Every structure is written in C-alpha cells, then in structure tokens.
Structure 1
Amino acid sequence: MADEPQYLRPNVIIEPLVDRFYAWLHTVAPVQASMNLAYLQAPLLESYLQSPPVHVAATANPELRGGYFVGIPEERSEEVRELLNGIKRTGADMFAFAEAITKAEDMVRQGATGFDLTPLYQKLPAELAGLVEIAYDTNNQASLHFLEPLVYKSKAYIEDRQSVQLSIEPGVERPFILSTPRLPGPDVLDLHIPFRHPGLQELFGARLRPRRLSELREALELDDAQAAQLATLLTGEYGQAPDRHIEEGGRIRYFGHACLALQTPEATVLTDPFISADTNATDRYTYRDLPDHIDLVLITHGHQDHIVLETLMQLRGRVGTVVVPRSSRGNLCDPSLGLYLEHLGLPVLEVDEFDEIPFPGGRVVSTPFLGEHADLDIRSKSTYWIELGGKSVFVGADSSGVDPALYRYISSHLGTADLAFLGMECDGAPLTWLYQALLTRPVTKRMSDSRKLSGSDAAQAGEIVRELGAKEVYIYAMGEESWLGHVMATSYNDDSYQMQQIEKFMSWCKEHDVRAGHLLNQHEWRW
C-alpha cells in the first residue's frame, strides 16, 4: 500500500498512564505522586492481589461506583503482581521520598514549638535535603514548604514511569481512573514514551494536516508491529466539522461537563476541556467540532475532571496559552498546575486573582474561587470573567457561594454578567476520597464526611446570581454526561439532593425573571 498522507481518525483517544494508572495531577506532580504511590496505589494493588474476586465484584456494584477497587479479571492477576513488583523496584526512590515526608511532617509537629527552627534542618531525612523549607505562619504553626521546581529535578520525579495508550473510543464506559490500571491489550497501541514526547503533537496534528505513516512512525519511534497498529488509527477522510469556525458575531458551545468553547471570528477561548471522541454519538460536540486554533485554554482548578490530560494532550500545538491559577508554592496539598503542564510540553501562563489576559477582540480576568476543596489550603483555583463579542460571561466552575459578598466585589470591579455558568454538585465526595494519601495526620470519618468537595446549593447559587446581576444562568459541571463515567463515577436520580437543589434553584430563577437552564450533552448560544 502506498505511503499516502492520511489523517488521524477523529475518534482516536489517548490515555496517559503513570505506572499504568491513568495520569492526573496527584500521580504526576512528584511530591503528591510519591505520596499517592506509597499510600494509595501500591496498597490498592496489594489489596487486589489478596482477593481479586472481591475487587471485581465491587466494581460491578452500582452502589460502590467510584470506590477504590481494581476492576481487572482474576485471570490477569499475575500481570497485576508483575506490575506491583515493577512499581516497587523502579519507584524505590519515590517510596523513600514519601516516607521522608511523613517523618518530616511528624518531626515538625513535635519539634516546632515556637522557637528557632534552625536545629530542625539537621533532623530532616536525607531525601528532603535542599528540597524543603520549614516556616511558621502568623499563628505560630509550623509546616514544610516544598521547593517544587527542584523536586521535579530530584529522584522523586521519574519520567520513565510515563506511557500512553492509543485506541479507538469504545463508546462504553471505561474503568474508573483512580483505581484500575490499564494493562496491555490487543486493541490498544502501547507506547513507552513521556507525555511531552514531540511525536504525540505530530500525531494529533494529523487531525488537521495529513501525515504519512512513515513520518508518524519516525516521529513516535515505532517498531514494525507498532507501526502496523498505528495504521489502523489513520484514515484518508478529513474528519473536521465544517461549522467549527464562525464568520460573524459570537458563539458559545457547551461540550459537556465544564467545557465551554467561546468564539468570535477573531478568537476562541476554551474552558476546562474535557471532550468526547465518540463520533458515532449524535448528542454531543466532539473533537471534530473544535476550531483549528484555540487562543486560550482556561483551567479553573486541579481536580481530575477539570484538568484532563487525555484532552489537553490532543490539543498540544493548537493552543496559544493554557491559563492556570497560581498555587501557594510548596503546600503539600496544592501542587503547581503551571509546573505540571510545563513538564508535559504545554505553553502555560499562571495568574493571580484579577489578573487580566487580553486576546483578539476581548479579555479574560481571573476571579476568586471559594470553597469546594474540603477546606484545604489550596490556592490553585480560579473562576473567570470573559468578555468577547460584546458579552460578559462568568465561568464559575465548582466555586461556592458560601460568602456572597465576594461576588458583590467581583461585580463592582467588572460589571454585570450577561451569562453565568455555575456548578451545583452540592453534596460532593468527602475529604479522604481524593486527598487521603496526602494526609500525614489521620482524620476521623466524621471529620472527613463533614468536609466535602461541594459547590453551591440552591441558596448559594441564587446569591451568586443576585450579586452578579446575571441575566442568564446555566448549571453545568455536574458529571451527568455518559462519557464522563471513567473520571466522574457520579450517579444521580430524581431524588438525589443535588437534583432537588437544582430544581429549587430553577424555581428561584423563574421567580426572579432570570433565564436559566440545566445543561446536558450539548448546547449552543449565538448572537
């Protein structure tokens, strides 16, 4: 067969993996990755190996959806054992680093009594030497601060743990990302390459510009068998939608969850990209509906459903800048989103509250994000105010209306919002569901259950809308789309507290003459 230029099929997906677990912030950023490897992922695999049938049965139980159970058939348990042995061997430095963090945190708790901290540096584990600072806050409470750029250069950051799997979107729910590793399979192309590998940008660029198989093979460093498998992911047909650009006015498209594409003829702004590749589905926008160039990608926060690597990696080379909120610099629970994405090869701009980012024909202003992070001291979160095409749009993600006065300040500074998008997952998962591995001091179940990953309820959402003076408001980021299950694992019914609160909020909007909607799958606004 002639080596003719071909396109990458529009329904190809990529799953970025770290030690064969689906990659997200806490498994890539080295401080948090070490803690998750030592205190979550390795123990999870050990638990599975003790009783594979229990884990497999639990993954099939709808009431346990989103739980930490490994959904790999028992007949493949030896592969899991080999995976665990490999993790222990190649990740030895990370296990030692995690143990050092736990010891150092305990040492600081015991030894920092309000006096000079200098003697404590000599007691730090060797693994942390030169990588941390010990400091008091103004309440005389001491803590460790990690020098995160240096940790990326230490033995705790092992890029060789990274790999990717390429395949055709299956159209069925994939295994839950936080618990089930991805083993090799006949229908996936396994590549042991880092996420920043330039060949991946070449590959996904072939959605817009055709490439020869020989060129992609060289760019990705493939052997004969891998090249043959890659050939099945290519097609001679151009797959992009003809209406992905606009010639006048403005447009917003809802791609699902918290992903909005805001467009004018001059520019595109994309929020929290999490996009379906299932081109057989007729109820959603997919990658084929994205414009060829995206000026700004706005990331609201670091949770796995808002900074989605499998989408961001497919957009590399098409994005001008990825805008992320600045972290608190060195806090154990608040890794830098900027460093994370830079090490994956993406162009990044970090912003603080009320920083302004201009783009052709408009501007973005980063605005504060309250709550939703189980009361942890996490600064790397931002809402956004976007002005384009004569409209002002507030993108609120999962921010809480716990203090309505904040939105009064936002409005006094920026004006009235024409449209607002709010998340109302108001009964979220408890603290330990996402942060257990980072807690160096145990918390009770009662404490954990009281500190949830929750956005606004009806009353709080109403106060946000009132203070912003929004004329239209839409509920999004609820995790209801069918293609989000492998990341969200949410399950609602009409009696769910979240759905009841949304209905209550919809009634409030009707009473106050605010146009409102509850988004699902896709929607479009034009002006």
Structure 2
Amino acid sequence: MPDEQVFLKSKAIVEPLVDRFYAWLHTLAPAQAALNLANRQVPMLESYLQSPQVHMAASVNPTLRGGFFVNIHKKRRDEVQDLLDSIKRDRADMLRFASAIAHGHELLREAATGFDLNPLYPKLPSELGGLVELVFDTENQAAMRFIEPLLYKSAVYAEDRQSVQLLLEPGTERPFILSTPRLSSPDVLELPIPFRHSGLEELFKARVSPTTPARLREALELDDAQAAQLSGLLSDRPSLAEDRHIQGGGRIRYFGHACLVLQTPQGSVVTDPFISADSSMAGRYTLDDLPDFIDLVLITHGHQDHIVLETLLQLRGRVGTIVVPRPSRGNLPDPSIALALKHLGFPVLEVDDFDEVPFPGGKVVATPFLGEHCDLDIRSKSTYWVELAGKKVFIGADSSGIEPTLYRYVREHLGKADIAFLGMECDGAPLTWLYQALLTTPVTKAMSNSRKLSGSNAEQAAAITTELGAREVHIYAMGEEEWLGHVMATTYNEDTYQIKQIEEFMKWCTDHGIKGDHLFGQQEWRW
C-alpha cells in the first residue's frame, strides 16, 4: 500500500557510478576524473573490445586479482561498445581537458626554464584558460596549479555522469569493481540521478525512521516499474541492533578495515566508514549496528578504501560533520576531499594538523600523517587523536613510522596514548596502480615499484608505539575482511610479508609488556 509505514531493508546497498564505473575520489574530482577517463577507462574499454576473452580470463585469475581488466562476458560486448561510444560523444569536454593538461605539462617541460612564466599563458590550450596558474617552486621546478573550485563550475564537471544502482547485498564477495563498468541487470534498480539528490537521503534515512512507498516514489522520481523494483528493498520493520547506543562509559567497535566507531552516551565518531550491509553473516558489525546519529565522520585520506561513497551516501542526513584533511590547493595528485563531498551534499569541515574539533562527550585532534602516498606531494591526509570517556586514542590509518620523532611531538603536545590503532600494509601497490592516469610523464617500472602505497612495517610500528607511550596497540586497516574485496582486492596468506611483519610486531609487543592484537572481522572495547 502506498501509505503503509516501511523501512529500508538491512541488506540494501547502493553502488555509486560515474559513466557506469564505480565512483571514488579520483573519478569525481574534475581534473583527476578527466585524466582517469582519458588515460585509464577509455583505453581499458578499447582493450576489452579488441580481446574480450583475454579480459575475462584475467579477471578470474587469482594471481591478477586487482588488475585493471574488464570483467564482462563477451556476449555483452555490444553494450560495452555502446558505453565507449557514449563516453567519447558525451564526455568530449572532459577528454579534451585531459589532453590539454598533457599539453600544458609538455609546454612547461620545454619552455619553463626559470624565467618569467607570463609569456607561456597564451600558449596554453584554450581548455585551461582561467582554470590554472603557472608557478615555480623555490627550486625552479615549474608546475600548473589548478583553481579547483572553478573546475566544479566548468564543463569538466558533469553531474549527468552520475547514477546509482540499488540492490540487495548478494551475500557473496563481489568481484573487483574499480575496473569494470556496471551494466544494467534485471535485479538492480537503476536511477539516473546525481549523488547529491535529496531522494537518496530520504531513502537511506528510512533505515532508522519510517517512511511510505508513496513518499519514496515522489522523492526518487520513480516510474511504475521502478517503484515496483524499489518495493523489494523495503520492509515493514526496522532491522536496527538494540545495542547500537550505550548508556554509560565509553566504547570502541571495530567494523573492519579502517572503520572504528567510538561512542559515549552523548556522542559518536566514525573513522573511514566502509561497512558491510550483510546482517545475515556472523562475525561482523553492519550498518544496523551504527548509532542513529553520528556526530563526526573522520576521513584519514582520499584513497578508495578510506573514503567509500557506497557507505557515505547511506549516512547522509545522519551525520553532523565529515572531518577531512586540508589539501595543498590545486596540486594534481591531491584533489580537495572537502570540495568533492560538498558537491555531494555533505556537511564538511577541513582541518590542518593539530586543529581541534569537539563533539558531545569528547574531542578530536588532527595529527600528521607521514608516507603511504608514493612520495607524491599529497597533503590531504591526517591521522587523528580522539579523547572520550577518559581515554586517549590514536587513529593511525595507513601512516608510516619513517620518521618516529614526529610521534614524540604528538606525545609532547597531547600526552600518552592509551590505545593506538596502526595500519601495517607494509608492501602496498606500486605508484602506477593508483596514480598512472595522472602521470603525464611516464615512469619506469622500477621507479614505480620503488614508490609504493605502503604503511608501517614492524620496526616502524614499534617506533610509533614507543614514542606515543601506548600500552595497547591494535593492527587494523589491512583489508582482510571478505566483504571488502570488490574495492580492496587484497590477498594474504600466512607467509606474506605483511603477515610476517605483524607477527614480528606482536612479538615485540609481548616482549615489551604491551597489549597487542591483529584485528579481523569485529571487536569491541568497553570501559
């Protein structure tokens, strides 16, 4: 009935898409999206169309897991061809902008020799006019600084790229999704609406507050067929966990990977939300276990496993503020997280190192984040210090202990940490796996492999722990949980370097009287 009270089912999920590819920061932010479209997605589709069978075989090869292959059956080749044709037709402005960036960089390499840059402006491609500034650093290295807010007002940012697919959690690991466009499917509700659409907020708030099918139909602008499909995502009762709030003291829950939920009776903080929707599975917390309202969401950095739109979109309307690190302003590998999220309808606060953000029952302090970004000049990364219910908690994410003296400064400023959460993905992907599309000057394979997306190893984690004075340390952010595979594509066994390093660190903790733990699935701490 159109007026009956309904809730969104526990297992409902959303896949946010841009030109049918799974969306993440580098496919949303305009300059980075243009380069990824031109230098990775279009060539990948062209490669698939030449050899669908090669891509199909590579997609199911365990040794190539996480490779950029299109995992679509050759029977649907014509649909991929149609997608490629539409991209080349409808995204011509973006493709021209990507080409203009490459030409601009080439101009600087040839003509920026340390003298006045003003004569170069007329030589820039017209697509860059008014959107970049040419600069030198103090070592006479020339660069283009992008005026990023203007890019969102230009033809390079096209909201009609955005759409969502709504479906029920399949209960099995989804295949790696960053390389494969999502085609239509009879069991998926497709909505050609931008991510900021108010109807999505209305839909996902129905996890905690009842609504009606008629109201959702109007909010999402559904036709009869879409409304019928939506009904399969709705239930007559909520599926919220009874213990999602606490009555006293403090609590931390580990939700998998880098996601922690820190609570007092007065308020709550969530870090890097990447959360399962499959409440039928044991051994994990899901969206049902989140508090109804979240005061702060803390984003540590812009990688696709830490700012996860699939989860964030489901929290819009239930979050007070998303706290994000401040970028370098206009540096190509360092897009503004705040600008991207604001254009998706989120309330956002940018922070610098040692900025404080209060929340009911505690406070958050942004702290420095070293390493993990392939030595690129990326400043939109932050660790966090959370104080709540008498505890001081360090949230380290993927940061590295390459310079442990830094953490001595943190301790001198903020005191000893009671609990530290550290990532130890110490043999990460090479530079080109994530950033190749942004590199207009090729790098050698050896150079790429030497600059990895790596966090701390055992020695560095021990140094961080020592300098922070922490007596309890938990290793997290490893991407081992099975519900993360469609984004993470990580594969470990007992002999992999990362696991061996964790074992070495755990032994160090035991030898030094420190409580250490390697987190997996779910865990809870109460005091």
Alignment partners' CA distance in 2, 1:238 and 1:315 = 16
Alignment partners' CA distance in 2, 1:352 and 1:220 = 37
Q: Structure 2 matches for 1:10-409, cutoff 5 A?
A: 10-409=10-409
Alignment partners' CA distance in 2, 1:48 and 1:248 = 56
Q: Structure 2 matches for 1:365-514, cutoff 5 A?
A: 365-514=365-514
| Bigger shift: residues 135-144 or 169-178 | 169-178
Amino acid at match of 1:5: Q
Q: What is the CA distance between 1:337 and its match in structure 2? A: 0.3
Amino acid at match of 2:213: L
**Aligned residue in 2 for 1:519:** 519
Alignment partners' CA distance in 2, 1:460 and 1:177 = 32
Counterpart of 2:408 in 1: which secondary structure?
A: helix
Alignment partners' CA distance in 2, 1:175 and 1:496 = 22
RMSD: 0.6
Post-superposition CA distance 1:131-185 (Å, at most 9, x none): 0000111111110000000011011001100000000000112231220111110
Alignment partners' CA distance in 2, 1:181 and 1:174 = 13
Alignment partners' CA distance in 2, 1:429 and 1:330 = 25
Determine if contact 2:245/2:291 at 8 Å carries over to the other structure: yes
Alignment partners' CA distance in 1, 2:101 and 2:399 = 30
Counterpart of 1:328 in 2: which secondary structure?
A: coil
Alignment partners' CA distance in 2, 1:189 and 1:348 = 29
Counterpart of 1:435 in 2: which secondary structure?
A: helix
Alignment partners' CA distance in 2, 1:471 and 1:161 = 49
Counterpart of 1:416 in 2: which secondary structure?
A: coil
Alignment partners' CA distance in 2, 1:37 and 1:177 = 15
TM-score of the superposed pair, with normalisation by structure 1? 1.00
Amino acid at match of 2:285: Y
Alignment partners' CA distance in 2, 1:73 and 1:237 = 38
Alignment partners' CA distance in 1, 2:23 and 2:175 = 13
Alignment partners' CA distance in 1, 2:79 and 2:384 = 45
Post-superposition CA distance 1:315-356 (Å, at most 9, x none): 000000000000000001000000010011100000001101
Q: What is the CA distance between 1:3 and its match in structure 2? A: 3.0
Alignment partners' CA distance in 2, 1:235 and 1:361 = 34
Determine if contact 2:2/2:214 at 8 Å carries over to the other structure: no
Post-superposition CA distance 1:250-308 (Å, at most 9, x none): 00000000000000000000000000000110110000000000000000000000000
Q: What is the CA distance between 1:2 and its match in structure 2? A: 5.6
Counterpart of 2:54 in 1: which secondary structure?
A: helix
Structure 1 outlier segments of 4+, above 4 Å: none
Counterpart of 2:209 in 1: which secondary structure?
A: coil
Amino acid at match of 1:318: R
Q: What is the CA distance between 1:404 and its match in structure 2? A: 0.4
Counterpart of 2:123 in 1: which secondary structure?
A: coil
Alignment partners' CA distance in 2, 1:206 and 1:487 = 26
Unaligned runs of at least 5 residues, structure 1: none
Unaligned runs of at least 5 residues, structure 2: none
Aligned length, in residue pairs: 527
Alignment partners' CA distance in 2, 1:35 and 1:174 = 26
Amino acid at match of 2:338: G
